[in-house]
Every structure is written in structure tokens, then in C-alpha cells.
Structure 1
Amino acid sequence: MQLPAENRVLSPRTGYTRAHWETAADTLLAAVEPYATEDRALYHLPGNRTSWSGSLSDGLEGYARTLLLAAFRRDETALERYADGLAAGVTGVWPSIEDRSQPLVEAASIALALRLTRPLLWDRLDEPVRQRAAAWLADALTAEPWPCNWELFPVTVGGFLQEIGYEVDESRKAVDRGLSRIDDWYVGDGWYTDGDGRKFDYYNGWAMHLYPVLHAWLADDPRLLDLYGGRLERHLADYARLFGGDGAPMHQGRSLTYRFATTAPLWLGALTGRTPLPPGETRRLASGALKYFLERGAVDDRGLLSLGWHGPNEAVLQGYSGPASPYWASKGFLGLLLPPDHEVWTAVEEPGPVEREDAVTSITPAYWLLQSTSSDGLVRLHNHGSEDVRYDPYYTRLAYSTVTEPSSSYDNSVIVGGDPSRTEIVPLGAGEGWVASRHTAASGARVVSLVVAEGAVEVRAHLVVGAAAGTPVRVTGWSAEEGPRAELVSLHGLLDGVGEVGDGPTLFVALARLTGELDPRPLAELVSVEVDGDHGVSVQWTGGKRTGFRFTESVGRSADSSWSVKPR
């Protein structure tokens, strides 16, 4: 991709300006055009993979997701091509919108694009085409979504149909129903779980916040904007900490092939005025993420986004990932709706959180502990509250970072009796510099886990309950095959990360570190740990801070479910 020269005066951190975003958008749009069908209703992108939904649905996905990019770019020439495709698509080319079907997802992108560009596209269509298009979209109002962020797709379609006066009552019901549903999943402090349970990931930003806030903004509804915009603003205070100094988003959760769609909530906050971030920091984080992927092969030699993370990578894909799936990255271009003279484009870049200071930050709704170090720009996420067993290992590891990905050798795990699984995660508490949880292994053993963090150093303690004496236990740390230095030092109950269960609940303790520093101080010089015979752990940091914890069992309850961790 041929980008403009970097501007290190306006953007001292990334060199990227609005011109870089515009060029990236234009290049991506031009690259997909040769793969459109003659009637432009479908975009069949190359590749040997077909999603669960089939090739026809994949072609619709290609149309819808790249239309969204054209809408954010407000490219009238491109929008004319998509208008032709719309006219053809709604004459029977596109698959119908049915319960829990992929076209429901794509209908939301089409509706949002039409709403954002109404004078440029919708209002220029012939009336018969508008009627057919509205009728096709209207099936989304009553189609049953999956009980997760999909509830917002009828909201997005309903908002557009309300605006154009089509099936207004049904549209209003769809909007109210979907917004009511996600309110059930709001857990506070700006965080949603993606459906029932404890599923925390980037869907918070590119779905759970994006669609209701955009709907409220486009509808000019102050009540809804106060509610959902307020949640977004609180979310961004945490969200900004999920980006590394090199621009990398945290490598956790599903649908990671959407890549710089992670920037959508940053732009959304600036667009709606609901952000705690200075304009220069917003652009620095967003441009950092775009640059991170463009410089690491996300776009191939044809100008297409590949299925993967940097370049192609099957490990980050799901069954619903088809050739056009990566183009939900289009959401990352939301910032182009802001005019060139908006302060988010004109302000000098400011450093992101990881560049300003070392910090250990607790995100209590998700029971995540974020550990960032300014010297190397690394961010680590200790996961003691998010779980979606369908997508292991991107939810079930104990820790993630902006510079590593889950490995096939089960990094950041406690392996009891050869079983690496981690299910039924129960948060047990969080505080300054620590977080704890309990989980179940497939063997039936329970593991109570605690991490205490300072700087780049981690104290990891695990109490194994309910396993037979002599059961082998292996504790793993970070996997860093290249780049950052990964360390794991066995302290209690372990030798080279391996131990075995004794008679009764058995405690295992280790030190871990992931660092980009070339010559870090030895771990033993930075922290000391004492373990007593009553499952107590005391941590003494070199700087003078001392903390203590005890693994305890509730009186009158069975040992298999009642163990917890208490600070002392």
C-alpha cells in the first residue's frame, strides 16, 4: 500500500494523518472492486475458505462490509457502484434474512451505510428500488437473532427504516426490543458481556457500544445518547489501556481478523463527544493500530485484507469466517465521518496510556488486571473473569498480551493431571495490583488462582483442590518464541514449573515476567515471596510495598466449591 509521507510534526508518534486513513480506505475499496459480480450485488473475494453460511452469503458479506467502508469514506463514485449492486441484490440475488442467518448481520451494515449516506445513495435510488430494498431489510425486524450482540442488528435496521417511514411501528418495536435485551447484559462501568455468562472481548467496542450509540446519535435522541454515550465514555477510560506502544490491540477474544475495527469505539467517542480521551490521544491510538497492521502484512500484494492477524493465520478464525469477513475492519474508518478540521485530526498526537506510565489497572466488571510498562510498551491482561469455551484458547488462558498469542503448548495455564482445560471460571476478587478466580478442570479438580503484579513482574499462586495425591501439576508462563523475553521461576511446590498434588489442597507458586527490556534485573532482586503452612502468601516488593493473601475455605461448605482468596 502506497501511503503519503509521514508527518512527524502533527503526528510525532505514528506519522499518520487523515491523508493516511483516506489513502488506506481508497486502496482497500479499489482492491475489492475486481471481485464484484457483473451486477455488483456480490463480492466474491478469493480464497479457499467458505464460511458456515456458504458462498452466496459470503458474497453478500463482501458487498455489505465494503459498502460500509465506502459510506465512511463518503466516496460518491464508489457509492454509485454500490447503488447498482443494491438494485440488483434486492431483486432476488441476495439470500433472504431468516432466523439466526448471516444475512441478518450484513443487513445491519447495509442499513447503517444507507442511513449515513442517505443524500448520496438512498435518496438517489428509483422508488421501486427503494421499496424492494426496504422490504428486504424489513425481514430483519422479526428475524430471531442469536442471543448476543446480534440483538443489535435489528436495532440498526429498524433505526433506518423508522427514519424513512417504512413499517414504523415494527421498526420501533425492533429497536426497543434489542436495546432492552442488551441492557440485561450491561454489567457496569462501561462493560457488557456478549450474551449470557461472562464473555468479555472486543465485541464491547465494535458492536455493543457502536450500534446503540450510533443509533442514538443519528436519531438525535438526547435521552438515548446520554445513556449509551455515557456508557461508552466510561468504557473508553479502560479501553485505551488495551493498546500496546507499537499500536497492537490486545490479542484476546474472537473475531480478531477484524483487526483495526478495534479503533471504532475510539472514533465513536470523538464523533459523539462522549470520550474522556484528548483528541490527540484518540488519533494516536487509532493510527497506531492501523499502522501496526499495515506494516505487518495484513494487506496482501493484491491490496486485500487476508484472513488472519498480521498476515494469514488460521488460528484466529472461527467457523463463520469467510473470505470477506476481515472487512468488518471497515468500522475502523468511522473517524472519516469527522470533518478534516475537527480537532481529532488537527491536534498534535499525544501518548497513549502505556507510553505515559507503568500501571497495574483493575477492570472489575471483567475481572481483568491490566499490567503495562512504558519502557517496552507492553500490555499484559490477566484474565480472571472472561470465558467463552467455544473459542478456547482465546478466552480461557490466564493471561494475554499485545505481543504474544496463545500457543499450542498451553501457555499461561495450570495443567492438572495432563488436563489443560479451564472452565466454569468464577471471579473471587480484585484490588490494587491483584485479581483472583476459581475454575474447574475437566478432571473435576478445582484450581484457585491469584496473580499479584508490579511493573513487569507477576507473582502467580494456584491452589489445586479435589485432585488425588500424586496427581501431576504443570504451571506454564508466557510463550515468546521471538521478541520479548519470557521467564517463569518456580518458587513453591514446583521444580521447573512441575509439581504434584499432596494430601489435600496443595499450593503452587511461581514468578513470571514478559518483558521487552534487553537486560532486565533478575526477578529475585525485585520481589520476594513467603508461603506459610496455612495456604498464606506474602509478597514483598523491592520498592517497599508488601501485600498478603490467604486461600480460605468457607465454613460449612464442601471443599469443591467454596475456596476463595482473601487479602490480609
Structure 2
Amino acid sequence: MNASAGDLFGLPPEDRTSSRYTGYTRAHWEAAADGLLKAAWKWATPGGARLDLPGPPSHSGVRSDGLEGYARTFLAAGFRVAGAGGKDPNGLLERYADGLDAGTRTPGRDDAESWPLILDHHVQGQPMVESASVALGLRLTRPWLWDRLTSDVQDRAEQWLRGALRHVPAGNNWYLFPYTVAGFLESVGRGDAETARARERASELLEHWYRGDGWYADGDGRAFDHYNGWALHLYPLLDAHLARDEEESAHHGARLREHLESFSLMFGGDGAPLHFGRSLTYRFAASAGVGLGAVTGHTPLTPGASRRVVSGSLRYFLERGAVGNDGLLSLGWHGPHAATLQTYSGPASPYWASKAFVALLAPDGHPLWASPEEAAPSEGPDRVLSVPAAGFLVQSTGADGVVRLHNHGSDHVRPDEGESAADEDPHYARLAYSTVTGPTSAENTADNHLSVVVGGARSARRRIRPLGSGHGDGWGWAASWHLPVFPAGPSTVPGLRVESVTVARGRHELRVHRVLGAPDGARAELTGWATDPDGPARSLLRGLHGWEAPESVRAPQGTAFARRVTVPRLGAEVTGTAVLVALASLTADPQAALPDEAVDATVDGVVDRVEVAGDTVTVRWAEDGARTRIAFGRGAVTADHG
């Protein structure tokens, strides 16, 4: 059993007067940062240039991983010291200064201290990622670190950092790494045409990737995830804030404000962010955008609600085993969890969680810390919110604080990339995600998935094409279509297409699918939420039209939330065009009663009647008699409710 974070890090006593939801104050944040840094520095090389944390290496190798340990912890140290006005009770900056000196003496040499060179992303790219953290750490702590370095060390550091300006980033948020390096160099009087061009190029791409509603795509495709908060909003707005550039702050700040209108709802009442998208081992970095909004004033949230979200997220992970008995952040979610990881994840990767400590830039006495905590957006009345730009439908229930994300727009497939079932990513491909459940592994039955089975092969969902979304008072909908692709035999079936609609109301989800062009002998399968039969979260999946009786399927590899999970599944024989309707539900409210399956294929107490006439589905809700109508057209879907 893991030791408590309070014991490991010496957290102060809870303050339930000012922080009635979490008990955390600014002092808890400082203690958490100090504890994480103290544990990580035990693994430093003699010169302090690398923190070689224990564990299996990433595909970039141990030298790059060691640089990652230095750079990502430097972020936490930078926020910690800058937010305290330069006070450095643990002598952190001296260590980072020594490490900078040692790492840049002979870059590229294969020894215990030298940092790897920054090259193109497909050659040796990871150091480019870390260069941004080094640059940002130096910028945050300039009066107490950079300005006290000898000119020789400054010159060597600049030369190493400029590798980020001279090599090709990956085609996504990576362009913000040279942008951040250039911003630092310009801030210390070392800017030139090279730094200006790096910033111009990143700004051009950022505008190209902006899709509206406060959301950026992470590259030229349709990848919408936590990278919005911990990268695409964080770097440009923090750069403008540190530079005191009012025009750029207003531009990027307005987008962050709009982003937080929807994103702030994506934290559960227990503090958990949505388990969705890649790099989830960064954990409480998910709250970085909320913290930055409070620091800069560009947020729709009150200071008390902002603190509730950021402190709730930090506490959520500290209490659930994210930190091992050695004080180190593990690779995983709660504790270690291999299925959460990507191949680029190494022992120090979790320390991008340091970005959450941007909240410490709000000094003691700032409204973020001085105002009493208020409820998080997910702790109020039930809400349903559509985010058309991203193709999201966000559904929260106040009784249990559970947030669900219905994904009809984010797929992490590049525009130039083909669709292959072998590349299906459980963290993007599923129909829905939540704050209390995780997706099953790629080797197990997929949760929250509509597959078509042809010749014994189950289809995957790769590229997701939105078909529309909207919301009203107490309800919302989102729709998309995808081309089923298969792992065996021909990758596609001519004419086969699946259109999917989710209607959210309360804790219930109406899931409507239209399968077109199904060959003879095909079968459709729909799965629901993967939950532990003995855990607090419970799920339901019932057929309303076209589906056979449900069954329960085991997922032996479990999820990031539970080792033992089962997945409800429906099946139906389909040929040609078929319209299928089901009701799903997920709850962690112990008082909530999940209905039993009714004889007439509706669900007692929830749905009163279902009518399917051609390509139109009409559902009458039992509670209040409201009617939901979904109409499929040629490449379009409409929905209304009343």
C-alpha cells in the first residue's frame, strides 16, 4: 500500500474553512511541489544535468530521458520560486544552474552529464520538447538564476537552445517549443531574425489550428484533447503574460476564457479530469489551463471555483497512488498502468504534471488563494453542453459529480494518414469517456463502441466525421459517421458506413445508430461503459429497437480505474440499412436505481415509447412526456426535443 501524500510530502493540516471542498491551500501546493522535487533529485547525476529516474526507458533512450527529468522538474521549480518572489528555501535554483552548466559543456557527447543535441523530430526529437521547459524555467527564474550565470554558461545554453529553432518539430503542438525558446531568448536580449521566424511560424500554425469554441486541433487533423490546456493555450498566453504584452494577452486570453467555458466542466466532483486522449500520465497537468486563467484573469470562473478545480485535481491523484512510496510520480493514472502510456513515455514523462503548478504564479493573497472555495461546474445542477468545433457533447450529473464526454469529433488521425484498424487508439476511438471509467485495452472487448462484424472480424472506428450537435435546456445531442475498417481480410466493405447519434439527458444517453450497406451475414455490436461489478460506478445498456437481449463481457486487462471490469454488450443481425436504438447510463450515485429491462423493449421509468419510421426515430421520455426526434438524411442528422 502506498504511503499517503501527506506523510511523503509533509503536507500541512487541511483548512476546511477557506477550502471546504478540498482542504488544500497554497501551502499544500508548495509542499507538494517541494516533495516531488526532493524525491526526483535523489536520482540526479553528480553534475545535476540529468535526473535518471528509475524505470524502463522510452524509445528516445536513457540520455534523453535524463534530460527530461531535469527539464520537467525545472518547470515545477520555476513556478515554485517565481510565485514566491524568488524565495528558494530548498536551494533548488543552484542545482538547476549547476545542471545547466554541466549539460551544455559538451552537448551530444555520450557521457554521464552531456545533454543530447536537438535534432529533427523524426531523428532525435524529444530534446526539442524539453528545450521549452528549460527555456521557460530560465525565464521564470531569470533574476535569481540566469542573470547570475557567467557569460560563458549563458552562451552555451543559448547555443544548445537554438537547436530547437533550427530543426523541424512534429506537425502539432511541438511548434510551440521553439516558440517558447525564442520567447526566452528575446526576453534576455538575445533575439534575432531566427527567433522572430520561429515565433511567426508557430503563430501562423496556431491560427490555422484554431477551430472555434476555444478549442485548437493538435495539428492539421481533428485531435482535440488535454493538449489544449497544457500546451496550445498555455505556451502562448503564458509567454504574453510574462512579456506583459497586453495585445497578445487579450488575444490568447479571450480564447482561453472561451475554452474554459466547456473545459472547466470536464472535471468530476471528485477532482478527476476526463480519462481521454493521449499523454494521460501527465495527470494533474490537465488543470494547467484553469490555473493559468486564474493567474491572468482570463477565465469565466470565479477564483473560488478555479481553486476548487485545480486543488481537486491535485488532491485526486495524490490520494490515489499516483505517487509511489519513493515520492516519484509513476507511469500511469492512479498508480502504474501500462495501457495509459505511449511509446514516448519514459520514467520522467509524468513530470509534465509540473504545469499544474502554474497556479503558484498567483502569489499568497491573490484571489485564487484568498477567496473561499466554491463548487466546481460539475457539482451544480445536471448539465449537457455541446462543443460543435470539437464534436463533443459533455454531460455532467450533480448527484454523483460524474462527467461524461461523448466523442463525435476527435480522432487523432492526420489528414494524410490512411485508416487502419491496427492503429485504433482506445483513447480516441470510443464513443464516450468519463471521469470514473477508463477505456478497455486494445486487446480486450472495446467499451462504448459500435462495431460491425463481417466474416468474424470486428470493425474499428478511426476517422470521425462530425454531423452536427446542439443543446437546449437539460438535453443535448451530437452526431458523427465513420467508415468501419477491419483488422483481417479486406480493410473495408464497399458501401458500409455507420452513423452515430448520442442524445444526453440527466444521467441517461440515447444511442442511435444507422448502419448502411451492411453485407449479408453482418452483425452489429454495441457496448457500454466498462465498470467494476463491485465498484461505485454502475452502468446500464438496454436495447430499445433492433437489438437482441444484452450480455455481459469481461475485459481481463481492466482499465486505469479497476483491475476487474465487465462491459455490457448488445448484438443484432444487420443487412443493408438498419436503424438501432439503445439506452445507456452511467452513475456513481448510490441512491440511483438503474431500471430493469421491460417486456416491451422500453425501459421502465425512463423511456415510455420508441417509434422508428424509416430513417426517423422518435422517443417519448417517461418522466415528463418530452419527445426527442432524430432524423437521418443524406450526409446529415437533425435532432429536436420538446
- Which whole-Å deviations, capped at 9, do the CAs of 1:543-562 have from their partners, x for residues lacking one? 2321211122x3xxxxxxx4
Question: 1:120 and 1:512, CA in 2 relative to 1: closer, same or farther beyond 3 A?
Answer: same
* 1:434 and 2:477 aligned: yes
Q: RMSD in angstroms over aligned alpha carbons?
A: 1.3
* 1:96 and 2:168 aligned: no
* 1:533 and 2:554 aligned: no
State the Cα distance separating 1:532 from its structure 2 match: 2.3
- Which whole-Å deviations, capped at 9, do the CAs of 1:471-505 have from their partners, x for residues lacking one? 11111111111221111111111112444444421
User: Equivalents in 2 of 1:287, 1:187: separation in Å?
Assistant: 29
State the Cα distance separating 1:270 from its structure 2 match: 1.3
Could you tell me which amino acid in structure 2 is paired with residue 423 of structure 1?
Answer: R
Aligned to 1:78: 92
Task: Kindly tell me the number of residue pairs found equivalent between the two proteins.
Answer: 558
User: Equivalents in 2 of 1:527, 1:322: separation in Å?
Assistant: 48
Could you tell me which amino acid in structure 2 is paired with residue 488 of structure 1?
Answer: L
User: Equivalents in 2 of 1:46, 1:153: separation in Å?
Assistant: 26
State the Cα distance separating 1:324 from its structure 2 match: 0.2
- Which whole-Å deviations, capped at 9, do the CAs of 1:119-171 have from their partners, x for residues lacking one? 01100111111111111111211211001000100100000111112242211
Q: Which moved more, 1:252-261 or 1:513-522?
A: 513-522
Aligned to 1:456: 507
- Which whole-Å deviations, capped at 9, do the CAs of 1:499-521 have from their partners, x for residues lacking one? 44444211111111001122434
User: Equivalents in 1 of 2:142, 2:342: separation in Å?
Assistant: 34
* 1:507 and 2:546 aligned: no
Question: 1:161 and 1:347, CA in 2 relative to 1: closer, same or farther beyond 3 A?
Answer: same
| Residues 424 and 461 in structure 2, CA contact (< 8 A), matched pair in contact too | no
* 1:310 and 2:362 aligned: no
User: Equivalents in 2 of 1:17, 1:543: separation in Å?
Assistant: 44
Aligned to 1:106: 130
Question: 1:107 and 1:565, CA in 2 relative to 1: closer, same or farther beyond 3 A?
Answer: same
What is the 5 A alignment of 1:467-482? 467-481=518-532, 482=535
- Which whole-Å deviations, capped at 9, do the CAs of 1:364-409 have from their partners, x for residues lacking one? 1111111110001100110001102556100010000000000132
Alignment partner of 2:627 out of 546, 551, 562: 546
Aligned to 1:559: none
User: Equivalents in 1 of 2:626, 2:25: separation in Å?
Assistant: 43
TM-score, with structure 1 as normaliser: 0.96
State the Cα distance separating 1:27 from its structure 2 match: 0.4
User: Equivalents in 1 of 2:503, 2:58: separation in Å?
Assistant: 41
Aligned to 1:301: 325
Q: What runs of 5+ residues in structure 1 fail to find an aligned partner?
A: 555-561
Could you tell me which amino acid in structure 1 is paired with residue 429 of structure 2?
Answer: T
State the Cα distance separating 1:424 from its structure 2 match: 2.2
Q: Which moved more, 1:72-81 or 1:255-264?
A: 72-81
Question: 1:163 and 1:491, CA in 2 relative to 1: closer, same or farther beyond 3 A?
Answer: same
User: Equivalents in 2 of 1:126, 1:528: separation in Å?
Assistant: 76
Aligned to 2:156: 132
Could you tell me which amino acid in structure 1 is paired with residue 77 of structure 2?
Answer: A
Question: 1:67 and 1:502, CA in 2 relative to 1: closer, same or farther beyond 3 A?
Answer: closer
Alignment partner of 1:38 out of 46, 52, 62: 46
User: Equivalents in 2 of 1:457, 1:377: separation in Å?
Assistant: 14
Aligned to 2:412: 388
Question: 1:298 and 1:391, CA in 2 relative to 1: closer, same or farther beyond 3 A?
Answer: farther
User: Equivalents in 1 of 2:588, 2:152: separation in Å?
Assistant: 61
TM-score, with structure 2 as normaliser: 0.85
| Residues 469 and 501 in structure 1, CA contact (< 8 A), matched pair in contact too | no
| Residues 511 and 583 in structure 2, CA contact (< 8 A), matched pair in contact too | yes
State the Cα distance separating 1:263 from its structure 2 match: 1.1
Q: Which moved more, 1:457-466 or 1:289-298?
A: 457-466
* 1:488 and 2:512 aligned: no
State the Cα distance separating 1:440 from its structure 2 match: 1.2
| Residues 468 and 501 in structure 1, CA contact (< 8 A), matched pair in contact too | no
Could you tell me which amino acid in structure 2 is paired with residue 539 of structure 1?
Answer: V
* SS of corresponding position for 2:584: strand
* 1:25 and 2:29 aligned: no
User: Equivalents in 2 of 1:331, 1:20: separation in Å?
Assistant: 16
Aligned to 2:638: 566
| Residues 424 and 460 in structure 2, CA contact (< 8 A), matched pair in contact too | no
Could you tell me which amino acid in structure 2 is paired with residue 328 of structure 1?
Answer: W
| Residues 529 and 537 in structure 1, CA contact (< 8 A), matched pair in contact too | no
Q: Which moved more, 1:12-21 or 1:216-225?
A: 216-225
Aligned to 2:245: 221
| Residues 122 and 130 in structure 1, CA contact (< 8 A), matched pair in contact too | yes
* SS of corresponding position for 1:468: strand
- Which whole-Å deviations, capped at 9, do the CAs of 1:181-202 have from their partners, x for residues lacking one? 1110000121000001110000
* SS of corresponding position for 1:466: strand
Alignment partner of 1:421 out of 452, 460, 465: 460
| Residues 451 and 460 in structure 2, CA contact (< 8 A), matched pair in contact too | yes
Aligned to 2:228: 204
User: Equivalents in 2 of 1:337, 1:566: separation in Å?
Assistant: 46
State the Cα distance separating 1:18 from its structure 2 match: 0.7
User: Equivalents in 1 of 2:604, 2:429: separation in Å?
Assistant: 29
User: Equivalents in 2 of 1:388, 1:179: separation in Å?
Assistant: 21
* SS of corresponding position for 1:567: strand
Q: What runs of 5+ residues in structure 2 fail to find an aligned partner?
A: 82-86, 107-113, 414-422, 486-491, 551-568, 596-602
Q: Which moved more, 1:431-440 or 1:489-498?
A: 489-498
Aligned to 1:11: 19
Aligned to 2:57: 50
User: Equivalents in 2 of 1:297, 1:502: separation in Å?
Assistant: 45
* SS of corresponding position for 1:448: strand
User: Equivalents in 2 of 1:395, 1:134: separation in Å?
Assistant: 38
* SS of corresponding position for 1:424: coil
What is the 5 A alignment of 1:91-490? 91-92=105-106, 93-100=114-121, 101-389=125-413, 392-407=425-440, 408-417=444-453, 418-432=457-471, 433-442=476-485, 443-444=492-493, 445-481=496-532, 482-490=535-543
Could you tell me which amino acid in structure 1 is paired with residue 28 of structure 2?
Answer: H
Q: Which moved more, 1:240-249 or 1:526-535?
A: 526-535
